[in-house]
Amino acid sequence: MEDEITFSKVFGEGGEIRKYFAPGRVNLIGEHTDYNGGHVFPCALSIGTYAAVRKRTDRKLRFYSVNFPDAGILETSLDDKAFRRELDWTNYPRGVVWAAEEAGYKADCGFDVLFRGTIPNSSGLSSSASIEVLTGYFLADLYGFDYDGIVNAKLGQRAENAFIGVNCGIMDQFAIAMGQKGHAIFLNTGTLAYEYAPLDLKGVRIVIMNTNKKRGLGDSKYNERRAECEKALQYVQQTFPVQALCELTKEQWAVAKETIPSVTLRKRAEHAVTENLRTLAAYEALKKGDLTAFGRLMNESHISLKEDYEVTGRELDTLVEAAWQQAGVLGARMTGAGFGGCAVSLVQEDAVSSFVTNVGQIYREQIGYDATFYEAETGSGPVRIG
């Protein structure tokens, strides 16, 4: 009701206002594998993005965010199909409108939309993918487009790649569009084959640790890492006819790595291949209820992301290494693209309070400002709520 009241204050009274929600996501393991044809293991969260939307009779698109009220209403139209830096965060939903039209889903009129996010901005919990999937979802509902969650995820990825200019894989959009409460998604990003894995954590909590260091994929080294992996793949393909690094087995990689002359490219590929193998092992460990093994694989993931992929940074390393020192911690690692954002940890329920206190104190002493902690609750995919 609060969003409806704000919507009417911002855009004026009248017309049917529809309301929607899409979650954020956290990836438990399988980082920087999604654009390398590998496996990922994310789950949707209960925090996310809300939208209140009303159709217009003309072709205008008007955007407003409760999170950025000083920006006011940002206005464009269905006919403006270019990325515009001055339109700031609205390029994410605009990109989805563009991607939908490119795929044959053409809106016949514009809309007014108010967004409200409960995901910390630049946290690595996919606020941008959340708004993309949410936009794809309400476009289908508003205009009667007939596509499923997987197509919606692809529209979001297309918007990110071709409109925003970030060469991300499909994990974020897929996890959000296809999320299921109480479950993680074991996804093969190369084939989009997936399984829902019950998250039976038996007295263990997922604790997300936010560095509060701002970051954005577009101005990070994300695209650089992807390009490095593509170069490494070209060397590997001289020996093995694979389409992606993560298709390699452990044995094949032992041979293939010798074909890559650059130490840096070899390290990038080393992470992609071994992270995929860790994700496969983590899924098997979860099926057996072996959370100790799952946590150990999380730790190994972070070390690889730090040493081979070099995407962690001082803030994330401080959080994770402090987490490793605490009683009741099964595992911890950075999650998301890196260079700031969040880390995720598995902590025994009775140790969560001391964990937050101790890790928070270490972080403040070493970094100079506070981290934010919250226990993750799994959520479901996008939904109309009114």
What pLDDT sits at residue 216?
55
- State whether residue 48 is helix, strand or coil: strand
Q: What are the Cα distances from residue 306, in Å, to 112, 188, 300?
A: 43, 24, 10
What pLDDT sits at residue 222?
84
Q: DSSP states of 312-337 as a string?
A: --HHHHHHHHHHHTSTTEEEEEEESS
Phi–psi pair at 364, nearest 5 degrees: -60, -45
CATH for the 204-375 domain, from 3.30.70.890, 3.40.50.300, 1.10.10.1590, 3.40.630.10? 3.30.70.890
Q: Start-end ranges of CATH 3.30.70.890 in the chain?
A: 204-375
Name the DSSP letter for residue 308.
T
Q: pLDDT per residue over 281-339, tens digit each?
A: 999 999 999 999 999 999 999 999 999 999 999 999 999 999 999 999 999 999 998 88
Question: In terms of CATH architecture, what is 2-198?
Answer: 2-Layer Sandwich (3.30)
Q: Start-end ranges of CATH 3.30.230.10 in the chain?
A: 2-198
C-alpha span between 331 and 343 (Å, rounded): 11
- State whether residue 241 is helix, strand or coil: coil
Q: What are the Cα distances from residue 273, in Å, to 229, 250, 338?
A: 10, 8, 18
Which active-site residues does the annotation give? Answer: 172
C-alpha span between 224 and 335 (Å, rounded): 18
Residues of the chain with pLDDT under 50: 218
Positions of E strands within 17-135: 18-27, 39-40, 42-55, 60-65, 74-77, 111-117
Q: Of 43, 27, 35, whose CA–CA distance to 301 is shortest? A: 27
Residue 360 in contact with residue 353, Cβ under 8 Å? no
What pLDDT sits at residue 218?
46
C-alpha span between 92 and 85 (Å, rounded): 11
